[in-house]
A and B are shown apart, each in its own frame.
Chain A
Amino acid sequence: MSGSTTTTTTPRQSRVWLKFIKHKPALISLVVIGIYVLAGIAVVCGMITVKDTANAYGAPFQPGFGLSNSPEQRLDDAEWYLNKLRIPLGSIDAKTALGEFPVSDLQAADRSVDELRTALATGDDLLQQLKEVSDLDTTIASGSADGLELQQQIVALEETVAGMLQLQPDVGGLRRWMHLSLGTDRLGRSNFLRAVYSIRVAILVGLVTGIVSVLIGAVLGLAAGYFGGWVDVLITWLYSTFASIPNIVLLILLVYVFREGTIDTAINEATGGLLSTLLGGSRLDSTLIPVYVAFCATFWIGPCRVIRGEAMKLREQEYVQAAQVLGYGNLRILFRHLLPNVSHLMLINFSLLFIGAIKSEVILSFLGLGVTEGTSWGVMISFAKDEVVNGNFWQIGVATSFMFVLVLAFNILSDAMQDILDPKHV
Chain B
Amino acid sequence: MADNFLTRVAATIPWKYIIRRTLYCIPVYLGILLLLMLILRVRDPVPAFMGKNATPAEIELKRQEVGLDKPFLAQYGHFVRQLLTFDFSEESWQQKGRTVGEIVGGGLGPTLALTAPALFLTTLISVCVSLIAAWFRGRLTDRLLVFFAVLGMSISFLVYIILGQYLLGYAIRSDGFAPFAISGYQTIEQVGLWSYLTSKWPYYCLLPVLISVIVSMGYDTRFYRAVMVEESQRDYITTARAKGASESRIMFLHLLKNAMIPVITRVSISIPFLITGSFLLEMYFRIPGVGRALITAVNQADFPVVQTIGAVFAVAYLATNLLTDVLYAMVDPRVRLS
**Using a CB–CB distance below 8 Å, which chain A residues touch chain B?**
237, 240-246, 248-250, 252-254, 256-257, 259-260, 262-263, 359, 362-363, 366-367, 377-378, 381-382, 384-385, 388-389, 396, 400, 403-404, 407-408, 411-412, 415, 426
Contacts and interface: CB of A to CB of B under 8 A. Distances in A.
A407 B163 CA distance: 19
Contacts of B310: 245-246, 249
Interface string B222-262: 01001100100000000000000000000000000000001
Contacts, number: 113
A404 B153 CA distance: 9
B36 A240 contact: no
Contacts of B29: 244
A290 B31 CA distance: 24
Given A245-B32, A262-B43, A408 B156 contact: no
B28 A400 contact: no
Interface in B8-59: 27-29, 31-32, 35-36, 39-40, 42-44
B295 A367 contact: yes
B144 interface: no
Nearest to A388: B166
A257 B43 CA distance: 5
A237 B27 contact: yes
Contacts of B306: 249, 253
Interface in B54-73: none
B317 A385 contact: no
Contacts of B159: 381, 396, 400
A241 B31 contact: yes
Given A245-B314, A359-B156, A257 B35 contact: no
Contact of B35 (A241, A248, A403): A241
Does more than half of chain B's interface fall in helix, strand or loop, or is it mixed? helix
Nearest to B35: A241
A388 B162 contact: yes
B280 interface: yes
Nearest to B318: A244
A408 B158 contact: no
Nearest to B222: A415
Given A249-B309, A257-B39, A244 B162 contact: no
B157 A396 contact: no
Interface string B124-165: 000000000000000000000000001101111111001100
Given A249-B310, A250-B39, A404 B28 contact: no
Contact of A359 (B27, B39, B157): B157
B172 interface: no
A253 B317 contact: no
Contacts of B156: 359, 362, 377-378, 381, 400, 403
B279 interface: yes
A411 B191 CA distance: 45
B294 interface: yes
Q: How large is the interface on B (under 10, 10 to 19, 20 to 34, 35 or more residues)?
A: 35 or more
B153 A411 contact: yes
Contacts of A237: 27-28, 31
B276 A246 contact: yes
Contacts of B276: 246, 248-249
B154 to A, nearest CB: 4
Contact of A366 (B151, B158, B294): B158
A245 B159 CA distance: 26
Given A252-B295, A381-B156, A408 B150 contact: yes
Nearest to A252: B298
Nearest to A249: B310
17 contacts: A241-B31, A244-B313, A244-B318, A246-B310, A249-B298, A252-B298, A253-B39, A253-B306, A257-B42, A259-B43, A260-B43, A366-B280, A388-B163, A389-B166, A400-B159, A404-B155, A412-B150
Which 5 A-B residue pairings sit nearest by Cβ, starting from the closest?
A: A408-B154, A407-B154, A244-B314, A244-B317, A262-B43
A241 B32 contact: yes
Given A396-B162, A408-B150, 13 more contacts: A245-B314, A246-B310, A249-B276, A249-B298, A262-B43, A263-B42, A366-B158, A381-B159, A385-B158, A385-B162, A407-B153, A408-B154, A411-B150
A306 to B, nearest CB: 15
Contacts of B298: 249, 252-253, 256
B308 to A, nearest CB: 11
B32 to A, nearest CB: 5
B323 to A, nearest CB: 14
A382 B23 CA distance: 45
A408 B27 CA distance: 42
A262 B42 contact: yes
A389 B154 CA distance: 24
Contacts of A248: 276, 279, 294
B76 interface: no
A249 B150 CA distance: 27
A408 B146 CA distance: 12
Contacts of B317: 243-244
B158 A363 contact: yes
B268 to A, nearest CB: 14
Interface string B300-325: 00000010011001100110000000
The CB with the most chain A CB atoms within 10 A, among B27, B158, B317, is that of B158
A363 B226 contact: no
A74 B310 CA distance: 52
A246 B308 CA distance: 12
B218 to A, nearest CB: 9
A82 B247 CA distance: 73
Nearest to A385: B162
B170 interface: yes
B35 A240 contact: no
Contacts of B27: 237
A259 B40 CA distance: 13
Contacts of B230: 426
